[in-house]
Amino acid sequence: MNWLAQKRDEGMFRDERKGRLQKTRGALYGLLIGFAICSIFWFFFYSGFFDVKKIEISPLQVLRPEAIEGEIGAYFNGAKQWPWGNRNIFSLSQEKIKKDLMEKFFVENVIVDKSYPNILRLKIIERQRSVVLITKNNMYVVDDYGAVTDFADATTTSITRQYLISPSPVNTPKEIYVITSVTTTYDKNQTFTDSTMVRKWLITANKLRDAGIWFKALDIGLEPSESISVILKENKNVLFELDDTLDTQIETLRAFLASKPKLDQIYEYIDVRVPGKVYFK
């Protein structure tokens, strides 16, 4: 038998048989490797094991954790960025989540961290600000959602009054003062306006400060609207429209004030709602 096997190996088709055997083995190894790669790929991206299942949020002062979780949920359930969806922790875009949260909630910074296999950690640094709402008969603190959180305390009330009546205030407070002509009394947790309007006030105040324009308060009249009056430290009212031309309106005012106009000859208002033009009366 050994002699026959040896003869068969030494026959004229020996190389051909070895070639076929090597090809068979190569194909088998290829299938096994391909199967292994597909299995690993499926496990990492399609099995759901690495889909985010828990969101950990650092302690917040003003924002609500449910709102943050809702925004993350909207990101997960939105248009698919990958064939396997948006929840996978490997393909999840930390920069996109950071950008979305910063734009949505107007925060100072967002740190997005992944903890494998399926935990998303968020550290949100909120802006140090508050809105003090001044009505005809009371002062309130309003949160980012437009709800009254409480009456202004004695210290806040005293500082606010002193700042608003000062002919030339020395320091700019971190609070944003919003004046309204209503006499309504608001209860704690009662909604005064919506979060979109509060955010517009915050953005306007920050842009004015960044432009070096010193102001005392925002006057919204009887009710929140896109038209507001900004009270300068010189007690002059400037009319603004809270639309996509806000930056141009602020730059128009900055240039006008830089020209050192005779403000004592302006008795009613300055109007910069037409970008590039200044009207006063």
Q: The domain spanning residue 198 has which CATH number?
A: 3.40.50
**pLDDT, tens only, 105-117:** 777 789 999 999 9
pLDDT for 10: 54
Residue 76: HSE in the Cβ half-sphere, 13 Å Cα cutoff: 15
| Of 125, 157, 185, the domain-final residue | 125
Domain carrying residue 229: 131-280
Question: How many domains does the chain divide into?
Answer: 2
Task: Based on the fold, state whether residues 140 and 248 are members of the same structural domain.
Answer: yes
Q: Is the pLDDT of residue 127 over 70?
A: no
Q: What is the CATH number of the domain that holds 75?
A: 3.10.20.310
User: Which of 110, 125, 140 delimits the end of a domain?
Assistant: 125
For residue 215, being part of any structural domain is answered with: yes
Domain edge (last residue) among 77, 93, 125: 125
In tens, the pLDDT along 251-274 reads: 999 999 999 888 888 999 999 999
Do residues 101 and 64 make contact, with C-beta atoms less than 8 angstroms apart?
no
Kindly state whether residues 148 and 105 are assigned to the same domain: no
Share of the chain above pLDDT 70, in %: 88
